[in-house]
Amino acid sequence: MYYHVKEAEYLRDYIVRVTFETGELFDLDLKPFLKGDLFRPLTDLRVFSSVFVHPELQILTWPNDAEIPAETLYAFAKGN
């Protein structure tokens, strides 16, 4: 099944409230994803807090083009 992120809200630290098109809502600590060159800038909370939902792809995105696919987020939220 394909998932889409409907809304994303920065809460605090590295926690983002993510709402999927299914209506499910999760507060996710995304710190484990902040590895590698593309994600390293996101360790700065000012950059991390600029998270948004890509309007066409419906995935989490940041201004530096870092992105996390909805399927990855959903599996992470469900503990898979």
CA distances from 6 to 18, 36, 37, 46 (A): 8, 26, 27, 22
pLDDT at residue number 2:
84
- Domains defined for the chain, CATH in brackets: 5-77 (3.30.2020.10)
pLDDT confidence bin for 80, thresholds 50/70/90 = confident
For residues 41 and 64, the answer to whether their CB atoms sit within 8 Å is yes
pLDDT per residue over 31-75, tens digit each?
A: 999 999 999 999 999 999 999 999 999 999 999 999 999 999 999
